[in-house]
Amino acid sequence: MHNEVKQFDTISDKYASFVDGDPIRNYLHYPTVVELLGDIKGKYLLDVGCGDGLFDRKLTKEFGAKVWGYDKASDLIALAKNDESKYPLGITYSVDDPLTFHTGELFDECLSVMVLSYAPDANYLINFFDSTYKVLKEGGRFLSVIFNPSFKAFDCVIANRIFKIKDGKVEVNFLKPKTNEVKFTALLTQFSIEEYTDAARAAGFKKITWEKLYPTKEGVAILGEDFWRLCEQEQPYVVLITEK
Ligand SMILES: C[S@@+](CC[C@H](N)C(=O)[O-])C[C@H]1O[C@@H](n2cnc3c(N)ncnc32)[C@H](O)[C@@H]1O
């Protein structure tokens, strides 16, 4: 198992409870993806690297989608399945990576939230695009929230993160909002625009677009404009959209 995945497997409980209340996930990543997806009522979605399934439950409960989520971290999938058995929503979860994930079914849209940036190297990226291309319906999209290839504002507090460069990788310090206490860290890679677009094109995706992320009004009301200012200015994340 790659270290990039092991980091979430070994901290699964801590990670899952952090993400549950994480303003970046709840007021920036997830709402942006939902807006870009449009009307997903009755649509079949694949969530690549779904973690403990927090987003999948939202997509199902609040927006009426049908969801399959997979993740390589078995501990996180165990948490997701546990939730599904207690509060059934009809979500399918599996322990998979893009090389093991196979199904005869086709999805309307695929998505992933902060997963591709944890690929072990640029050569691995093609696996994510290959795998989603194969299971997408014609005209379907793969929407991926990734660490922004153009981001430069390292070593500053941005919302509840500090990004630091460490041995050619990016160390993400996840902070408790308001106190800025470091809850845990993770290592990701700042892949370039070319590395992403080459991998997506090699898999067959022709149309490639990029979208900025802005917090929701609710997120601004709860945490204040100061909390989000640098996040809006510096854009640590971007949504990469590839269309089949
Ligand atoms: C930062 S977490 C994001 C989890 C979830 N998408 C969310 O929004 O909370 C990254 C996730 O990607 C998973 N992951 C990383 N590389 C993967 C791979 N090659 N195949 C499947 N899952 C992977 C990790 O196990 C981890 O759960």
Residue 11 lies inside a defined structural domain of this protein: yes
Residue 171 lies inside a defined structural domain of this protein: no
Residue 94 lies inside a defined structural domain of this protein: yes
Q: What are residue 69's DSSP bridge partners?
A: 47, 93
**CB 58, CB 31: distance < 8 Å:** no
Residue 109 lies inside a defined structural domain of this protein: yes
- What is the pLDDT at residue 2? 46
- What is the pLDDT at residue 8? 62
Count structural domains, the chain.
Answer: 1
Per the listing, tokens 């929701």 go with: 216
Nearest CA to ligand 1 atom 13: 49
**CB 132, CB 46: distance < 8 Å:** yes
Instruction: Report how far ligand 1's centroid is from the alpha carbon of 203 (Å).
Output: 20
CB-side neighbour CA atoms (13 Å) of 184: 15
Q: Rounded to an integer, what distance in angstroms lies between the CA atom of residue 175 and that of residue 162?
A: 8
Q: Rounded to an integer, what distance in angstroms lies between the CA atom of residue 189 and that of residue 76?
A: 22
Ligand 1 pocket mutation, candidates 55, 115, 147, criterion most atoms within 8 A of CB: 115
Does 73 sit in the ligand 1 pocket, CB within 6 Å? yes
Does 114 sit in the ligand 1 pocket, CB within 6 Å? yes
Residue 50 lies inside a defined structural domain of this protein: yes
Ligand 1 pocket mutation, candidates 4, 5, 55, criterion most atoms within 8 A of CB: 5
Q: Which domain holds residue 198?
A: 3-148+191-221+235-243
- Locate the ligand 1 atom nearest the alpha carbon of residue 19 and give its number: 9
Residue 37 lies inside a defined structural domain of this protein: yes
Give the domain CATH number at 216: 3.40.50.150
Under 8 Å CB-to-CB from 125, ≥6 apart: which residues? 116, 119, 191, 195, 196, 199
Residue 17 lies inside a defined structural domain of this protein: yes
Does 69 sit in the ligand 1 pocket, CB within 6 Å? no
State how far the alpha carbon of 231 is from the alpha carbons of 21, 116, 122, 158, 212, in Å.
18, 20, 26, 6, 11
Q: Give, for all 244 residues of the chain, the pLDDT tens digit.
A: 344 555 666 556 666 666 678 899 999 999 999 999 999 999 999 999 999 999 999 999 999 999 999 999 999 999 999 999 999 999 999 999 999 999 999 999 999 999 999 999 999 999 999 999 999 999 999 999 999 999 999 999 999 999 999 999 999 999 987 788 898 899 999 999 999 999 999 999 999 999 999 999 999 999 999 999 999 999 999 999 999 9
- What is the pLDDT at residue 41? 98
Does 71 sit in the ligand 1 pocket, CB within 6 Å? yes
Under 8 Å CB-to-CB from 20, ≥6 apart: which residues? 54
- What is the pLDDT at residue 178? 76
Residue 107 lies inside a defined structural domain of this protein: yes
